[in-house]
Amino acid sequence: MRFLLLCLAGLLLQPDSLVAQRLIYSKDIPVEKIRIVPETALGGTINERISDLEYIPLKANKNQLLDQAYTCILSNNRIGILSGKGHLYLYNIQGDLIKIFDQIPGVKKIREDNLFFNHITTTEKGFRLTQGMRYVNVDWDGNLIDTITIKEDTTSHYTTTIGNSSWHYSVPQFHNKKIMETKTLSQGDRTIVTYQKMDSIFQPYNSYSSLSEIQKNNKAYAKFTYSTHLFELDSSGVSKVYQFIFPLKNTLNLEEVIKLKDFMPVIQYMNAHQSVITGIGDVFPYRDYLMVQLQLKGNFTIAINMKTKEIIGLRNIIPNKDNDYLAFMNRNILSTDGEYLYSILFPEDIRQAIGKSIDERHPVSDHLKALEKVNNPIFVRFKLK
């Protein structure tokens, strides 16, 4: 799994104008500033914050075990997981294995060191998987429907359509000074966001930027390399920019980062600044909340109540003896089907809960013992109270 080398927590709030990747966009776009101290975001015990918690073992024989979970999706009572090799493992909501999709009929196998599929999303008929310049559509039981060649778009890396509005997103390439294209977000033919050319920072490592697919609220979200600005998009344009402001110890110093031009200096810098939030990962709406994954070590997901502005730090919700010290989520995998949030736990999480129970002289429950025997990931779904 390709996890980012990021980092930990927060203290004093910084001035608004302090560092972040400098983006150029219209001053007419509304900006909402949200101040966050990660370590003091609301938390509590699982019983206080979480309801409808289910642990669903993913059943398999010894030849069907998941090596890793690259990403996960839940829809129509089907659990789709891309393994560490990018193979599709498809389960029903009871955790029974339906199919392993690791070969496209009539298509030559790709190299073992490449992900077989690198993305999964839902369609009306099932799932759409992405392999290079090809979409592969399968039904709810993993049967092949068709394959579609993706027309190469040399102008953008991501596209999203909201209503009649087409959004295009590019990751600027600064390594070649002859093509220093800084346009990054466009609506149709209209440029919405550009980078300043002076910020020709080394981008391929420890950074995350993308344009999301359209969400259930008919909006999409754009986030940018080394930036804590989140752009909320709809069919008419950018409806709002969320500017997340963090304590100084959590804030990236762009003046230092723009000096980094190669891989090893980036690694050394990040290792020396392990509390820095380097950007924004996955973003999606869930009920009254906007879920935002901050790029901190192991990722730090916050839930912002858009009505009350209450901020919950999911990492600050801790297990205790009432739930046998068992975690409720993995820090790197979290998504929603609209009703539930869901994540994946691994055998080591079960062993850790058993070890904690023993350390605290809490009886190891039959539930934990049963989960330990599975020796395969556990699908977890839950709701925020």
- Residue 383 CA from chain centroid, whole number: 18
Is the model's pLDDT at 197 over the cut of 50? Answer: yes
| Residue 230: predicted pLDDT | 96
Is the model's pLDDT at 302 over the cut of 50? Answer: yes
Mean of the per-residue pLDDT values of the chain: 86
**Residue 12 forms part of a structural domain:** no
- pLDDT tens, 341-384? 999 999 999 999 999 999 999 999 999 999 999 999 999 999 99
| Residue 210: predicted pLDDT | 84
**Residue 358 forms part of a structural domain:** yes
Yes or no: say if 342 and 336 are a contact pair by the CB < 8 Å rule: yes
**Residue 15 forms part of a structural domain:** no
**Residue 197 forms part of a structural domain:** yes
| Residue 367: predicted pLDDT | 96
Is the model's pLDDT at 2 over the cut of 50? Answer: no
The phi-psi region of residue 204 (left if phi > 0; otherwise alpha if psi is between -120 and 50; otherwise beta) is alpha
**Residue 249 forms part of a structural domain:** yes
The phi-psi region of residue 177 (left if phi > 0; otherwise alpha if psi is between -120 and 50; otherwise beta) is alpha
Please give the average per-residue pLDDT across 98-115, as a whole number: 83
- Quick one: pLDDT band at residue 7, thresholds 50, 70, 90? very low
| Residue 130: predicted pLDDT | 92
- Quick one: pLDDT band at residue 287, thresholds 50, 70, 90? very high
| Residue 205: predicted pLDDT | 46
| Cβ within 8 Å of residue 171, ≥6 positions away | 157, 184, 203, 209, 225
For the ranges 30-44, 167-181, 228-242, 308-322, the lowest mean pLDDT is seen at 167-181
Q: What is the per-residue DSSP string for 35-67?
A: E--GGGSEEEEHHHHEEEEEEEE----TTS--S
Please give the average per-residue pLDDT across 188-203, as a whole number: 73
Residue the block writes with tokens 């600050």: 316
Is the model's pLDDT at 291 over the cut of 80? Answer: yes
Yes or no: say if 63 and 50 are a contact pair by the CB < 8 Å rule: no
Q: Which residue from 308, 306, 307 is spatially nearest to 291, judged by alpha carbons?
A: 306
Highest mean pLDDT (candidates 66-70, 137-141, 195-199): 137-141
| Residue 332: predicted pLDDT | 84
The whole domain housing 63 covers: 23-384
For the ranges 51-55, 61-65, 154-158, 163-167, the lowest mean pLDDT is seen at 154-158
Q: For residue 181, give the CATH number of its domain.
A: 2.120.10
Give the number of other Cβ atoms within 10 Å of residue 20's Cβ. 22
For residue 371, the SS3 value is helix
For the ranges 43-57, 259-273, 298-312, 365-379, the lowest mean pLDDT is seen at 259-273
**Residue 17 forms part of a structural domain:** no
- Quick one: pLDDT band at residue 4, thresholds 50, 70, 90? very low
Please give the average per-residue pLDDT across 97-124, as a whole number: 87
Alpha carbon separation from 305 to 9, 27, 218 (Å, rounded): 21, 26, 18
What angle, 0 to 180 degrees and rounded to 10, lies between the N-to-C axes of helices 347-359 and 366-374?
Answer: 150
Is the model's pLDDT at 194 over the cut of 50? Answer: yes
Please give the average per-residue pLDDT across 44-55, as a whole number: 98
For the ranges 2-11, 175-184, 314-323, the lowest mean pLDDT is seen at 2-11
| Residue 216: predicted pLDDT | 85
Alpha carbon separation from 66 to 83, 215, 300, 380, 385 (Å, rounded): 6, 28, 25, 15, 31
- pLDDT tens, 121-173? 999 999 999 998 899 999 999 999 999 988 766 555 788 999 999 999 887 65
The span from the first CA to the last CA of the chain, in angstroms, equals: 31
**Residue 175 forms part of a structural domain:** yes
For the ranges 214-218, 231-235, 296-300, 344-348, the lowest mean pLDDT is seen at 296-300
**Residue 231 forms part of a structural domain:** yes
Total domains in the fold of the chain: 1
User: What's the rounded Cα separation, in Å, for the pair 109 and 121?
Assistant: 22
